[in-house]
Amino acid sequence: MKPFNRSSLIAVLTLIILFVTLEQSKACTRVVYQGPNKTILTARSMDWQTEIPANLWVLPRGMERNGEVGTGSVKWKAKYGSVVTSSWDIASSDGMNEKGLVGNLLWLVESSYTPFVKDGEKKGISVSLWLQYALDNFATVSEAVRELEKEEFAVVSSEIPGTDIFATIHLSLSDATGDNAIFEYIDGKLVIHHGMEYITMTNSPIFDKQLAISSYWNNIPGTIMLPGTNRAADRFVRATYYIRAIPQTDDIRVATPAVLSVIRNCSVPFGISSESEPNISSTRWRTISDHKNLIYYFDNVLNPNVLWVDFSKLSFSENAPVKKLNLSNNEVYAGETSASFVTSEPFAFLGL
């Protein structure tokens, strides 16, 4: 390791300034804890300038879906059941399936998707279903990468209803082995970063440049200095450092709150926003997915309690009903809440 000196500090600060000028997006953070004895936890925050109503859903196996982009839509039947967090009940933005595969959607303003013509020859899928497609069809990250890298369909985006905001998203997947993959569409091409080492992800810039700043900070001990702002580049550095600095343990009663403390450290305090820096937005909610024990935690910043869902108490069988836990009105729950889900009609994914 190179010694910490003034030259390396200047280089890091210069790189940070460059990244700040590139950030144009809504903010989120995602980080993976790779503990001993297959103790794998994925945490993420959802940051947004306005309210982004969230509900939890139990989606069983066997559900028939299509890409919602016209006659060329991809069609499939869910192989695996999942628990997901919806955004506005038009998209799955976060979740884990019964095999321990976790998906997280984060904003990436640099996203530029493959050109798509509705009802044309090219198969397509709405970006609102991108994460759900992975949870429905794959048990591991490697399996997902092998299939998605074929690019047999286009990911298609559109404006968020009621706004002029064009949805630009990148996708992260993690699994019960601690494997990771980041999927980004840059200049119309799918770019995949696949490896155990890709434990941290934020927003802009593209993931290649996030890795660049991380390499600089690896030479500066976190006990000496860490960047403290709410910007994506700074959150990336803090998340990467703290997820490795917290206790490395297979005691889930220690690991889970430790990981929660990391994602809270990388959150933006409620009510914080900046008209001149739209990339800084309040954290609305956070999740932690326990891949080994199949427990999904949800932390709403406007509620005093953390709730969780134990998959062993749910039915994902093909004949099981869709169930919903309404959280969009900041309902208060605490602890294990599987019994509070109610049978519901599935939400409709946003399409073209």
Active site residues: 28
Q: What angle do CA 266, 268, 271 make, to 5 degrees?
A: 165
Q: Do residues 59 and 346 touch, judged by C-beta distance below 8 A?
A: yes
Q: Which residues contact 18 (CB under 8 A, 6 or more apart)?
A: none
Q: Do residues 181 and 198 touch, judged by C-beta distance below 8 A?
A: yes
Q: Do residues 37 and 254 touch, judged by C-beta distance below 8 A?
A: no
| Calpha distance 311→302 (Å, rounded) | 25
| Calpha distance 34→81 (Å, rounded) | 24
Q: Directed axis angle between helix 207-217 and helix 6-22, to 10°?
A: 160
Which residues is 311 bridged to in the sheet? Answer: none
Q: Which residues contact 319 (CB under 8 A, 6 or more apart)?
A: 60, 62
Q: 20 exposed, middle or buried (CB, 10 Å; 0-12, 13-18, 19+)?
A: middle
Amino acid, res. 38: K
| Calpha distance 333→302 (Å, rounded) | 12
| Calpha distance 38→36 (Å, rounded) | 6
Rg of the chain taking only CA atoms, in angstroms: 19
Can the peptide bond before residue 205 be classed as cis, meaning omega within 30 degrees of 0?
yes
Q: Which helix (H) or strand (E) holds 255?
A: helix 252-265
* CA–CA distances in Å: residue 24 to residues 204, 229, 232, 237, 281: 7, 15, 10, 18, 11
